[in-house]
Amino acid sequence: MSSVMQPAPPTGSAAETPPTASRAARRGAKLPLWVGIGWIAGLALVALLADVLPIAGYDEVVGAPMQGPQLTGEPLGTDAIGRSVLSRIVYGARASMAVGLTAAVLGLVVGGFLGLLAGYFRGVVEATIDILAEVVQAFPPLLFLIALAAALRPSLASLTLALAALIIPSFARMTKGSVVAQSSREFVLAARAMGASHWRIMFREILPNALMSIVAFSVVVMALLIVIEGSLSFLGFGMPMPYPSWGGMVAEAKDRIASHPSLTFIPAFFLFMTVYALNTVGDHLRRRFDVEQSQL
Amino acid sequence: MLRQVGSRLLRLVPVLFLITLLTTAMVDLMPGSPALAMLGDQATPEQVARLNEQLGLDRPFHVRYWDWLTAALGGDLGTSLRMGLPVTTAIAQRFPVTLEIAVLSVVLALLVAVPLALVAGARADGRLDRTATALSSALLSLPGFAAAVLLIYLLAVRARLFPVGGWVPFTEDPIGNLRSAVLPALSLALMEAAVYFRLLRGDVIRTLQEKFVLSARARGLPPGYVLFRHVLRPSLFSLTTVAGLSMGRLLGGAVIVESLFALPGIGFLAIQSVPFQDIPAIQGIVVVVAVTYVLVNIAVDVGYSVIDPRIRAR
């Protein structure tokens, strides 16, 4: 689905928070920040410790299929072939977090670098990068990912690479925007007058000033990437079987939604909460650095 | 204005060239071959080689691309490997479905978001405003497929208002057609509505601080009248762009919703073509989608000058 692909609009950014809205309304509009941070930290911890936690293997049949907690002793029951839902949620968290984080970092580094070049040198460099970005963005995004993942054979690594490739243009454009804004500032002119090299101006003068807003953006991008990973797995083009992914779990369970709705809604809830938490933290960061920039 | 449209169309050329080049290269990048995908694992290497030869896939990359390009410029997008019919026909058959879903979902989203944003923006920070804002920020974090599955459960499985999936053509049964279109359109509209609401609410609050609104109020005009007649139109600019962009995006086929509800649209066609390495079909879809997207964007720009006479003067 395409609407999943666009980075969510800057919810609650300075542009959208009208002057009359009070702090209370802004806070009320979001998940409390500590819930967001807590959820992400808890999930990251669980994902890291998945192998040592006292849970069943993700591919291990632990009891009769589709039973609740009473019969199996599994806190979240069992899935259609008797595997532990809890364990699959935990290992699914690992897949979501690993793919989302790695792809976001890759996108940040590569896209950020390209954006820095484009925003600093402008001209031919900028035009080339713009056209490349347009090529990637003209593809229907899911089709782009599916084709790329198929070309690379499905695996955690190829999925991550494909997602990073998809997101690089967004990072490049975002970085370019803030680099262009910084380039006309006095301290850049001063550095230039002192005879600093391009390299030094780009990395020591401009980048530190543009960095935090790019990092804030990457948190929101990570939420988006987790949605995309879920969507791909939902369509059957994500993580190779039998490794669990939340999107894949929803897809597996959706045909039994009439008799066993919880099998569909548990992974969907975790996906939703994770995305919500990341969006909350990302928005908070973005708002914070918007304010700092306006005070300068 | 005209020159702007012209340069936008001109920019499309290198983009289209590169994406079609990349799609042609997909055959060389993907493991296996279209013939292998069509014949299955049991096929002997000779059979696979013969079919690949028949399909012209044994020729070098640049020859294949040149042939495709010259035909495409004449309006022939080739023949689908999987379906055996011309790609243009296949796309023409499926486009109306995608179009209907796209239009319906944008209309649904606007119907919900516009009145809600006006009322919420008029009483910023009120109870309704806070509820709607909180709801919209939650909806923005709900992945499309999760929203679709939730709606299926509530409206199709529990309430039995709509079918769980499938498509009824309009010509067969107009009512059934609408019933089969509502759930997919609604699944897409949820997130669109959240985006539209946030955008318009912010703009309404900004417009309300303008002097002409104060003057309208001072003249004793009823608040509802001021809201709909004075505030709405100048607040619509960013919403027009965003709604236009989402229209362009949705016309590219809502892959997840179309495959979840088994709708014979562009997105479903695209996703079915990938495992078969049906390159002509994929290429045709990619071209049509990219062109549609750019055309819709241009149409949005032209639409601006209709809403805002000041732009026409420029």
Q: How confident is the model at residue A105 (pLDDT cuts 50, 70, 90)?
A: very high
- What is the DSSP code (8-state) at residue B299? H
Contact A226, A96 (CB under 8 A): yes
pLDDT of residue B313: 56
Q: Tokens 């969907």 label which residue? A: A268
* Contact assignment for B145 to A1 by CB distance below 8 Å: yes
Of A8, A138, A153, the CB nearest to B15: A138
Is the Cβ–Cβ distance between B213 and B231 less than 8 Å?
yes
Residue A131: pLDDT over 90: no
State mean pLDDT over A4-28: 42
Average pLDDT for chain A: 81
Asked whether the predicted pLDDT for residue A5 surpasses 50, the reply is no
pLDDT value of residue A290:
65
| Inter-chain touch A134–B285, beta carbons under 8 Å | no
Please report, for chain A, how many H helices and E strands are present, in that order. Answer: 12, 0
pTM of the entire predicted model: 0.84
pLDDT in the model for residue B274: 81
What pLDDT is attached to residue A267? Answer: 94
Supply the DSSP symbol for B47.
Answer: H
Mutation for testing the A interface, residue in B135, B256, B289 having most A CBs under 10 Å: B256
ipTM > 0.90, yes or no: no
Q: Considering only the C-alpha atoms of chain A, give the largest distance between any 2 of them, rounded to a whole number of Å.
A: 76
CB-based contact A147 B26, cutoff 8 Å:
yes
Query: A149 falls in which pLDDT band (50, 70, 90)?
Result: low
Give the confidence band of A4 by pLDDT, cuts at 50, 70, 90: very low
Q: Residue A277's pLDDT band (boundaries 50, 70, 90)?
A: very high
* Amino acid letter, B63: V
Taking an 8 Å cut-off on Cβ atoms, the answer to whether B142 and A272 are in contact is yes
From chain A, the residues in CB contact with B195 under 8 A are: 8-9
Query: Distance from B74 to chain A by nearest Cα, in Å?
Result: 22
Task: Decide which of A144 and A257 is more confident.
Answer: A257
Cross-chain Cβ contact A28/B31 below 8 Å:
no
- Tell me which long-range contacts A150-154 makes (C-beta under 8 A, separation of at least 24): A150/A237, A150/B30, A150/B31, A150/B274, A150/B275, A151/B26, A151/B29, A151/B30, A151/B31, A153/B31, A154/A237, A154/A238, A154/A239, A154/A240
Nearest CB to A250; choose among B134, B145, B199: B145
Does A255 have pLDDT greater than 80? yes
Selection from B153, B40, B125 nearest residue A258 by Cα? B153
Structure tokens at B130: 């806070």
Q: Which chain A residues have a beta carbon less than 8 Å from that of B23?
A: 147
Q: How far is A216 from chain B (nearest CA, A)?
A: 17
Amino acid at B250: L
Residue owning tokens 């974090």 = B141
A24 touches chain B (CB under 8 A): yes
Tell me what pLDDT residue A13 has: 39
Pairwise CB contact (< 8 Å): A147 & B282? yes
Look at B15 and A131 and tell me if their CB atoms are within 8 Å: yes
Contact of B227 with B279, CB cutoff 8 Å? no
Q: Identify the CATH number of the domain defined by range A28-58+82-288.
A: 1.10.3720.10
**pLDDT at position B255:** 87
Instruction: Give CA angle at B214 (B212, B216), nearest 5°.
Output: 70
Express each pLDDT in A43-71 by its tens digit: 999 999 888 888 877 777 777 777 777 77
**Residues of A with Cβ-Cβ distance to B31 under 8 angstroms:** 150-151, 153
Asked whether B39 and B282 are in contact (CB, 8 A), the reply is no
pLDDT given at position A7: 46
CB contact under 8 A, B152 and A135: no
Q: How far is CA B52 from the centre of its chain?
A: 34
Which of residues 186 through 245 in chain A touch B, CB cutoff 8 A?
A: 223, 227, 230-231, 234-235, 237
Contact with chain A for residue B249, Cβ under 8 A: yes
Q: CB–CB of A88/A77 below 8 Å?
A: no
Residue B123 neighbours by CB distance under 10 Å: 12
Cis peptide before A242 (omega within 30 of 0): yes
Q: Does residue B134 contact residue B116 with C-beta atoms inside 8 Å?
A: no
Which has the higher per-residue pLDDT, A221 or B1?
A221
Q: Report how many helices (DSSP H) and strands (DSSP E) chain B contains, helices first.
A: 15, 0
Q: What is the pLDDT of residue A221?
A: 92
pLDDT along chain B (314 residues), means of 10: 76 82 77 76 80 80 86 86 88 92 95 94 90 90 92 90 85 88 93 93 92 93 90 87 86 86 90 83 85 82 72 57
pLDDT at A296 over 80: no
Using an 8 Å Cβ cutoff, are A35 and A277 in contact?
yes
pLDDT at A150: 67
CB-based contact (8 Å) between B206 and chain A? yes
Q: Are the Cβ atoms of A250 and B259 closer than 8 angstroms?
A: no
pLDDT of residue A22: 43
B222 CA: distance to closest CA in chain A (Å): 22
Taking the domains of chain A in order of start, what are their residue ranges? 28-58+82-288
Instruction: Give contacts of A29 with chain B, Cβ < 8 Å.
Output: 130, 133-134, 137
Greater pLDDT, B200 or A178: B200
HSE-up of residue B36 (Cα within 13 Å, Cβ side) = 8
* pLDDT band (50, 70, 90) for residue A23: very low
Q: Does A134 touch chain B (CB under 8 A)?
A: yes
What pLDDT was estimated at residue A17? Answer: 41
Q: How far apart are CA A101 and CA B119, in angstroms?
A: 39
DSSP classification of residue B265: S
- Which residues of chain A have a CB within 8 Å of the CB of B282? 143, 147
Helix (H, G, I), strand (E, B) or coil at B81: coil
| Residue for token pair 């499985």 | B157
Q: Of A100-114, A163-177, B285-299, where does mean pLDDT reach its minimum? A: B285-299
Nearest to A4 among B144, B198, B282 (CB): B144
* d(CA A272, nearest CA chain B) in Å: 5
SS3 A83: strand
Q: State the alpha helices, DSSP H only, in B123-173.
A: 127-139, 144-151
Interchain contact B295–A (C-beta under 8 A): no
Best CA proximity match to A236, nearest among A180, A130, A159, A174: A159
Has residue A249 got a pLDDT over 50? Answer: yes
Nearest CA in chain B to A227: B143
